[in-house]
Structure 1
Amino acid sequence: MQFSDIVGQEAVKKHLIQTVKDERISHAQLFLGAEGVGALPLALAYAQYICCENKQENDSCGQCASCRKYSKLVHPDLHFSYPFFAKHKEDTALNFIEQWRKAFLQNPYMGMDEWREQLEAENKQANINIAEAHAIIKKLSLKAFEAEYKVLILWMPEYLEKEGNALLKLIEEPPQKTLFLLVAQNQEQILNTIISRTQLVKIPKLKKDEIAHYLSEIKGVEPALAKQLAYLSNGSLQSALHLLQHQEHDYHNLFLSWLRACWGNKGLEIVSYSEGELAKMGRENQKNFLRYAVSMMRECALFKAETPGLINVPESELKFVSSISPSLSLAQIQEIITELEKAQYHIERNANPKILFLDVSLILVKILKFKTLRPTADSIIL
């Protein structure tokens, strides 16, 4: 994994490269970032750069023996630890290394859901057990085979509970030329004793245009659709890829047509949408459609609040926001958002989509056509 393979994160890449040039490599670092922003591939690219035999100005060479082994995740001085679903108490991460390599090479931005799909999880809880902690200590106590550094990349230390205390001494006083790279999503779920012994590297969310460029240039997605998915991804490439996997509809035009039918109180069209396209698009697409609808209404609220600097949507969506917002009050927008979020909640819990979308449609008719809003605390006369 080279830095050039990673989407965006130019400031983080520059910082990591500079630590190597300045010989300020901290032995224990915590790469902290939300799922899908690139924390895991950044940690691997950093390790590869450190161990590269022919470092370039801004990246590893990708051609030396070390880089070739790193690219296949088979370097003898590169070790991984990660949550797994132990069948026996003596199981360690090494028992699942082939599945790990396959999952990572397919998608370096994967989350726990994707990792779970690679394993026979059944109903077991993922964790990093005491046997794995002891295995880490044993592996890192040995001398390096080929590289100057031994590297351990520990993905999701949130799954280390009291077992993590067994690693404290090793993290605080590691053998010479040993590098710990922890990759986490939620700092609050990590043992404080581990956080205090690591140097924090924060990984920000990706920019929308970076995700859109990746989708259009690498995945061959139409530019308009790429922008729409990037907008919905909330800075996570993994979310954008998940949306792409289930993307079968033009959410923008579908939402616009549905909203017009509700606004015009067009009963036959409403029933047609509720029992037709909306009901038959599948649960993942229904969730994504409702997520898109909520996002659009929130942009309308920002437009009404006269905060154009906060609005960042593709051109077609901006035209929709600017044309519909003047006809709505903030109270109406809030009511619509509430109903759409409730619908998303019920879809996730397998509600009947025909009944659900018809119910939501009728509520939107009341809000848009007849301006019937639920009473608020301020409007109740005691």
Structure 2
Amino acid sequence: MQFKEIVGHSEVKKRLIATVNEGRISHAQLFLGGEGSGNLPMAIAYAQYIACENKSDNDSCGNCSSCVKFEKLAHPDLHFVFPVATNKSIKKDPVSSKFINEWRELVIEKKGYFTLPDLQEKLATENKQLIIPKDESVEILKTLSLKTYEAEYKTMIIWYPEKFNISSANKLLKILEEPPNKTLFILVAHDSEQIIPTILSRTQLVKVDKIKDADLISVLTDKFNLTENQATSITSFADGNFVTAQKIIEESSAEEFFYSHFTKWMRMGFVADVPGLINFSEESSKLGREKQKQFLSYSLHIFRESLIQNYGDTSLNRVSSNENKFLEKFAPFIHGANCIDIIELFNDAIYHIERNANPKILFLDVSLKLTKLLRVKQPEIS
């Protein structure tokens, strides 16, 4: 993967290239960026540039033996770790190496722009929580104890280090602090607050911000043959997230489902349709945990847009035309007297989903509490 394939981030690319050409490669780096920012392809492009046998001043050559192997993610000195779980084929002791073929297929197919639910679907782990287990740390130590095969550096890219547990993280502390010579760790993370502090403190930060609107509009018009107005509309909703932008174009059904599911939920909540809410909870429990979290996050998005509609500058709204029509009637019910409780309710629900709460019970509990909160009236200003 070359830097030219990554959407935007020209300044980040320049800084990374400079660290190579000036001999300032830090042994442990944290590529921190939100979903769809491009921090994973950036990490791969950086590793490829370091290993390239004929690099230029602004990119790897793409043609040398090393680059050809990197394009296939099959270079012997390039290693990946990512969250896993058991499935029908791997019934015990799951580690990344057992899923490496599926990982390579996904990264190549999506050009590095994908989400945790995408990985979960690819690994066919159903609704099991993906984690980086302690056995993975043992595998990392074994792998990095070997000498490099071809490249100057042995590179270990760890995607979603937020999924380390305490045990697996502690096993890596020493090697992160005192790695073997010519070893490069790149942690590709999305939320630094979820990373174990002892891991976080041992890395050098490379911030990969949201993709700038101009860069996203440019790639959408070029790659998908969209008009500038179409690209601008999608960019406004995607909010710097290339994954979201692509999904809007290629498979808008997910967003349409969330919108339909959410509006149905709210309407049943308004009229306190308890049998309907029970059925809704059963439907939601079948989505799978990652999609349940996505749906709850989508709900928080609508609540946020409701508050902006009521109290802020509506030019800041990032909603589709359908959502905008819905907000006209829905937004007045999200106000100062209930918004904090509603947001806490949904954040708590995401937290408990991540910790394997029973989704049917959880969604019913949220539904009944939300029914009461939506009926809270905003105090009149005297």
Q: Same fold (TM over 0.5)?
A: yes
Aligned to 1:170: 175
1:48 is paired with a residue whose SS is helix
2:163 maps to a residue whose letter is Y
Q: Which amino acid aligns with 2:34?
A: A
- What fraction of aligned residue pairs are identical, expressed as a percent? 41
1:157 alignment counterpart:
161
Alignment of 1:135 onto 2:139: yes
SS in 1 for 2:30: strand
How far apart, CA to CA, are the structure 1 residues paired with 2:299 and 2:169?
Answer: 41
Residue 116 (structure 1) aligns with: 120
**3-state secondary structure, aligned to 2:209:** coil
Q: Do the aligned partners of residues 93 and 247 (structure 1) sit closer, same or farther apart at CA in structure 2, a change above 3 Å counting?
A: closer
- Relative distance call for 1:299 and 1:203 in structure 2 (3 A) is farther
Q: What secondary structure sits across from 1:183 in the alignment?
A: strand
Number of the residue aligned with 1:33: 33
Cα shift readout 1:230-289 (whole Å, capped 9, x = no counterpart)? 1011211111122223448xx9xxxxxxxxxxxxxxxxxxxxxxxxxxxxxxx99x9989
Task: State the distance in 2 between where 1:188 and 1:296 align.
Answer: 27
| 8 Å contact kept, 1:2–1:48 | yes
Question: Residues 224 and 337 of structure 1: is their aligned pair in 2 closer, same or farther, counting only changes over 3 Å?
Answer: farther
2:332 matches 1:335: yes
Q: How does 1:159-238 map to 2 (within 5 A)?
A: 159-161=163-165, 162-238=167-243
Shift of 1:14: 1.1
Distance in 2, matches of 1:12 and 1:31, equals: 10
Rate the CA distance shift 1:106–1:299 in 2: closer, same or farther, 3 A: farther
Q: Which residue of 2 aligns with 1:101?
A: 104
Q: Secondary structure at the match of 2:76?
A: coil
* DSSP 3-state at the match of 2:162: helix
Q: Give 1:300 shift.
A: 8.7
Q: Which structure has the bigger radius of gyration? A: 1
Specify the code of the residue in structure 2 equivalent to 1:28.
A
Count of residue correspondences: 310
Hey, what's the Cα distance between the residues in 1 that align with 2:214 and 2:299?
Answer: 21
Distance 1:246 1:337, change over 3 A: farther
Structure 2: which 5+ runs fail to align? 257-286, 347-358, 361-373
Q: 1:207 to 1:293 in 2, by over 3 A?
A: farther
CA distance in 1 between counterparts of 2:232 and 2:299 reads 15
Amino acid at match of 1:62: G
Name the CA distance, whole Å, in 2 between partners of 1:231 and 1:297. 18
Q: 1:303 to 1:120 in 2, by over 3 A?
A: closer
The alignment partner of 2:114 has SS state of: coil
**Corresponding residue of 1:323:** none
The CA distance in 1 between the partners of 2:380 and 2:307, in whole Å, is 23
In 2, the alpha carbon distance for the partners of 1:144 and 1:58 equals 25
- For the 8 Å contact 1:154–1:180, the answer to whether it is kept is yes
Residue 294 of structure 1 and its aligned partner are, at CA, apart by 7.5
What displacement does 1:336 show? 6.8
AA partner of residue 54 (structure 1): N
Report the Cα offset of residue 209 of structure 1.
Answer: 2.2
The structural deviation recorded for 1:153 is: 0.3
Work out the CA distance in 2 between the residues paired with 1:184 and 1:334. Answer: 34
Q: SS in structure 2 opposite 1:43?
A: helix
| 3-state SS of 2:172 partner | helix
Once residues 232 and 309 of structure 2 are traced to their aligned partners in structure 1, the CA distance between those partners, rounded to angstroms, is: 15
The superposition leaves residues 56-95 of structure 1 with CA deviations (integer Å, 9 ceiling, x where unpaired) of 0111111111111101100000000000113444332111
Kindly report the root-mean-square deviation, in angstroms, between the aligned alpha carbons of the 2 structures: 4.0
Displacement after TM superposition at 1:222 (Å): 3.4
User: Where do 5+ consecutive residues of structure 1 fail to align?
Assistant: 252-282, 305-309, 321-327, 351-362, 364-372
Matching residue's letter, 1:102: E
Q: Residue 148 of structure 2 aligns with which residue?
A: 144
Tell me what 2:17 maps to: 17
Which deviates the most, 13-22 or 239-248?
239-248
Using the TM superposition, give the Cα deviation of residue 221 of structure 1 relative to its aligned residue in structure 2, in angstroms: 2.8
2:139 and 2:300 map into 1 onto residues whose CA distance is 46
* Distance change in 2, residues 1:99/1:48 (3 Å): same
1:55 offset after TM fit, Å? Answer: 1.1
